[in-house]
Amino acid sequence: MGSVATNTNDQIAKLRERGMELDYDDAKVKEILLDIGYYRLGFYWNPFEKDDKHNFHEGTKFSNVVELYYLDVDLRSIIIKYLNRIELNFRTKLIYYVSNKYKTSPTWFIDPKVMSKDFIISFDNYYNDDFVNNNKQIKNHHLKYLNDKHAPAWKTLEFFTFGSILKIFKSLKEDEIRQRISELYGIKNVQKFINLFETIVYVRNCCAHSSVLFDLNLAKSISAFAEIKFNGHERHNLDSCIKVILFILNKISSSRKEEMETAINKLLIKYENNDFIKGIIKNKIGHQF
């Protein structure tokens, strides 16, 4: 798309000019363009383009683009539900095990005996006036305990993001406590644990910000891990990320793992007879029917 805004009539004309088959009437196409947006839909017709001038392969249908968009929406909806379960579980374990190991240090997240110097220096970037005022329980704590600079870990860390919780884990000085938490998820190698959880946090952020999922391609490869059977040597695509999520979820609840796996398989099988979408599921997502 260029740098000049276009109306829906211009957008429809441009799609036809580039070879897209508009298999809805113009009124329906306009409704969809005004609902989802021409620019965002562009992420979903990109796989159907045949050259750098954005011309489409013969047989490209507008309905397939819309179906791919809704496939992506449905995948995000399924995945985020179970990522929330993993996030809560990891947060709870971190708070519980570290807080009980350092019982005399309720604000262990700023204790130099517990945390790295770099994390402590940056902590006020997290725990600032906005953080206090935007979280009722933290604000109430400071109204009650006027001399406390920070609320204890079991209050404070409930309001930290998944990424921040993982950073806290990585910043723990004692390897023993990181090892203990890692092994709770069936992973003995802490660095592999961190790699798998970095993958999970990345996917979680993509889902939370409505990023495109179907062509997700990790910048950093997922660590090889014997218990996770990836498709071949591919450890960058969405299917590989889903396998990581399922592995960790299984350590929390086998029922939830089976539930997520069934939901994704049920969604993807809907497109088994659509050669356009099936090709994208196999070649972009990496799922094997």
Rg (CA), the chain: 23
Note the pLDDT tens digit of each residue in 180-213.
999 999 999 999 999 999 999 999 999 999 999 9
Query: What is the DSSP secondary-structure string of 43-72?
Result: HHHGGGB-STT-PBPTT-BHHHHHHHHHHH
Taking residues 41-65, what's their average pLDDT? 95
Residues 97 and 212 in one domain: yes
Taking residues 73-100, what's their average pLDDT? 98
Taking residues 43-70, what's their average pLDDT? 95
Residues 275 and 197 in one domain: yes
**What per-residue confidence (pLDDT) applies to 11?**
96
Cα angle 239, 227, 196; round to 5: 60
Give the Cα separation of 56 and 193 in Å (integer): 42
Look at residue 134 and tell me if it is in a domain: no
**What per-residue confidence (pLDDT) applies to 285?**
96
Q: What SS3 state is found at 119?
A: helix
Alpha helices in the chain (DSSP H): 8-17, 26-36, 38-45, 62-101, 117-122, 129-134, 136-144, 153-156, 162-171, 175-184, 190-208, 238-252, 254-269, 275-280
Residues 56 and 79 in one domain: no
- Mean predicted lDDT score pLDDT of the chain: 95
Look at residue 102 and tell me if it is in a domain: yes
Q: What confidence tier does 289 reach under pLDDT thresholds 50, 70, 90?
A: confident
Q: How far apart are the first and last CA of the chain?
A: 35
Using an 8 Å Cβ cutoff, are 40 and 247 in contact?
A: no
Residues 17 and 90 in one domain: no
Range of the domain at 164: 69-119+150-285
Residues 206 and 97 in one domain: yes
**What per-residue confidence (pLDDT) applies to 231?**
86
Residues 74 and 109 in one domain: yes
The closest alpha carbon to 41, from 65, 16, 17, belongs to 65
Look at residue 23 and tell me if it is in a domain: yes
Look at residue 240 and tell me if it is in a domain: yes
Listed in sequence order, the residues at least 6 apart from 9 whose beta carbon sits closer than 8 Å to its beta carbon are none
Question: 1 pLDDT exceeds 70?
Answer: no
Residues 223 and 112 in one domain: yes
Own/partner contacts of 34-41, CB < 8 Å, gap of 24 or more, are 34/8, 36/66, 36/69, 38/1, 38/6, 38/8, 38/11, 39/1, 40/69, 41/65, 41/66, 41/69
Using an 8 Å Cβ cutoff, are 166 and 203 in contact?
A: no
Question: 279 pLDDT exceeds 50?
Answer: yes
Q: What confidence tier does 154 reach under pLDDT thresholds 50, 70, 90?
A: very high
Least confident stretch, 52-56, 113-117, 208-212, 232-236: 232-236
Residues 177 and 107 in one domain: yes
Question: 5 pLDDT exceeds 90?
Answer: no
**What per-residue confidence (pLDDT) applies to 234?**
86
Count structural domains, the chain. 2
Look at residue 126 and tell me if it is in a domain: no
Residues 115 and 163 in one domain: yes
Look at residue 124 and tell me if it is in a domain: no
**What per-residue confidence (pLDDT) applies to 197?**
98
Give the Cα separation of 223 and 33 in Å (integer): 40
Q: What confidence tier does 4 reach under pLDDT thresholds 50, 70, 90?
A: confident
Give the Cα separation of 175 and 224 in Å (integer): 22
Look at residue 107 and tell me if it is in a domain: yes
- Tokens 């050669």 locate to 275
Give the Cα separation of 74 and 182 in Å (integer): 31
**What per-residue confidence (pLDDT) applies to 2?**
60
12 versus 234: the higher-pLDDT residue is 12
Residues 47 and 159 in one domain: no
Residues 77 and 34 in one domain: no
Q: At residue 227, what is the residue type?
A: E
Look at residue 39 and tell me if it is in a domain: yes
Residues 158 and 32 in one domain: no
